[in-house]
Amino acid sequence: MSVNKPGLPKLNMQQNALGSASFKTSTASKLATSTRTGYGIMAQRTKVGTGAIFNVKTYNSDSISAQRHALNDNRTIIKNNNIIGTPVAHNCSGNNAMNKYAMALQAASLVTQALGSLTAAKSSGSAVANITSSVTSGTTGAIGDLANAKYSSEIQKGLSKLETEMNDYETKMNKAEETIQKETKLKSENETKLKDTENQIQSEKQNITKQEGTITKLQSSIQTDKMTLSSLKSQLSTAGDLAKMSIQSQISELEAKIAQEEQQLKEAQESKANSQKNLEELGNTKKDLTNQIANNEKNIQNAEAEKNSASAKKDKLEDAKIKYTKKLTEAQNKESKELSKLFNEIGNYAKEFQETTDVNKKNKLSEKYTEKAKEYNELVRKTSSSSYTEVGLDLNSL
């Protein structure tokens, strides 16, 4: 067995190892030299009168503190050859939330609440289901602690945790609102840019159509003029002097016209080419802006869902705060009455103890006092009231 497990040490005594010594003598020797940590007789047995298995993590087990006190408060000191082996206090590690049965009931209750919310909801769709689900799962922390709280100190601690969670959800709501405003502004700017881009695309398309018409017209005109020019040049060899002058003049004018038309054709072709290049770039810009707007809308939608979810969770916590603030007051009043009653009882026991000289009566009064003092101290540790302090357990030392 492990050294850290409760129970009596294993002596490993064999029959043939006893030799001439008696069993009692050998056992005493083994006990005296054992290095095993002792928790006292009570520590290795079940709780007196209950039959509860010593496992604070089992279903429907007692709370950690209840088990701890049951195991430690009533321990029996073991003496061996007049040597007192003071029992070491057994520490049941963990917290009261480790009671799996209580946690299972809590989870079932939360699921029931979620199903009820879904059934009562008018609207349908995954958004509603997601928000309801997140509200249920997101608030089990503080509310779960409060649901299991029995004493005012536990309720007060749960309310403090609840307040922290409410602040966290408020921060999330503000952050989501900032995201909504930011993304809405960006979306508006991108939509304006997209509209301008689409206008530029339309303008470039119109220019391409226009330049294509101009190019076709110029190419046809240049072809005709060149044919006329070729005909005029062929007439020069047979024409007279006076006719030559007239033909030469026509040739000069036609060559000037062709040169001008070719320059215009070049400009039209360049303009068309530039528009086609711009059209490709504008197409990419339009695609990017369209994607950015889609992302803006998605971010806005996600932020709105986050804001709605955080708001719903905060509302649930606010309802719980009202409920458990009232419960805190009730618990404090109840604990104050009980503490006052116990304090009077132990005070009366202490007074009688001081006044009597009968040893037997003193012993009985001491036992009653110790029992009630333990109960009183335990409640002092569990209450949030600062009006009471723990008392000593031994009347003889008071």
Hunting for tokens 């007049």 — which residue is that?
82
User: 82 with 25, same domain?
Assistant: yes
Residues 342, 386 within the same domain: yes
Is 44 a member of any domain?
Answer: yes
**Same-domain status, 238 and 354:** no
Same domain, 180 and 304: yes
pLDDT digits (tens, 9 = 90+) for 102-133: 444 444 444 444 444 333 433 333 333 343 34
Decide which of 94, 112, 136 is a domain's last residue. 94
Last residue of a domain, one of 264, 288, 317: 317
**Within-domain flag for 155:** no
Q: Is residue 185 part of a domain?
A: yes
Strand partners, 85: 78
Same domain, 296 and 352: no
d(CA 201, CA 212): 16
Token digits of residue 8: 């009596």
In this model, does residue 135 exceed pLDDT 80?
A: no
The pLDDT, as a whole number, for residue 137 is 40
* Model confidence band, residue 213 (pLDDT cutoffs 50, 70, 90): very high
Residue 111 domain-assigned? no
Q: Which residue has the higher pLDDT, 167 or 138?
A: 167
Would you call 23 exposed, middle or buried from its count of C-beta atoms within 10 A (0-12, 13-18, 19+)? exposed
Q: Measured between alpha carbons, how far is 12 from 296 in angstroms, rounded to an integer?
A: 76
What H or E segment, with its residue span, contains residue 78?
strand 78-80
Domain membership of residue 146 (yes or no) is no
pLDDT at position 376 is: 87
Burial of 3-16, coded b for 16+ CB within 10 Å and e otherwise, reads eeebbbeeeeeeee
Q: What is the model's pLDDT at position 26?
A: 56
> In the structure encoding, which two tokens stand for residue 280, read together?
């490709």
Is the per-residue pLDDT at 215 higher than 90?
A: yes
Confidence (pLDDT) at 30: 53
Cα(237)–Cα(245) distance, integer angstroms: 12
pLDDT tens by residue, 223-260? 999 999 999 888 887 877 788 888 888 999 999 999 99
- The answer to the question of residue 121 being in a domain is no
Pick the more confident residue, 199 or 53. 199
Domain count, the chain: 3
For residue 319, pLDDT beyond 70: yes
Q: Are residue 348 and residue 310 in the same domain, yes or no?
A: no
| Nearest-angstrom CA–CA distance, 75 and 82 | 18
Cβ neighbors of 177 (< 8 A, separation 6 or more) are 303, 307
User: Cα dihedral sign for 76, 80, 84, 86?
Assistant: negative
List pLDDT tens digits, range 35-89: 444 444 444 444 444 444 444 444 444 555 555 555 555 554 444 444 444 444 4
pLDDT of residue 281: 95
Domain final residue, candidates 94, 120, 136:
94
Within this chain, do residues 206 and 231 fall inside the same structural domain, yes or no? yes
Q: Which domain holds residue 343?
A: 333-398
The mean pLDDT value for 319-346 works out to 90
Would you state the pLDDT for residue 241? Answer: 78
Mean pLDDT of the chain: 75
What the block records as the tokens of 398 is: 């008071």
What per-residue confidence (pLDDT) applies to 398? Answer: 59
pTM over 0.75: no
Residue 353 is predicted with a pLDDT of 87
Task: Based on the fold, state whether residues 190 and 311 are members of the same structural domain.
Answer: yes
User: Are the beta carbons of 377 and 145 closer than 8 angstroms?
Assistant: no
What is the distance between the alpha carbons of residues 324 and 139, in angstroms, rounded to a whole number?
Answer: 14
Q: Is 56 exposed, middle or buried (0-12, 13-18, 19+ CB in 10 A)?
A: buried
pLDDT in tens, 282-314: 999 999 999 999 999 999 999 999 999 999 999
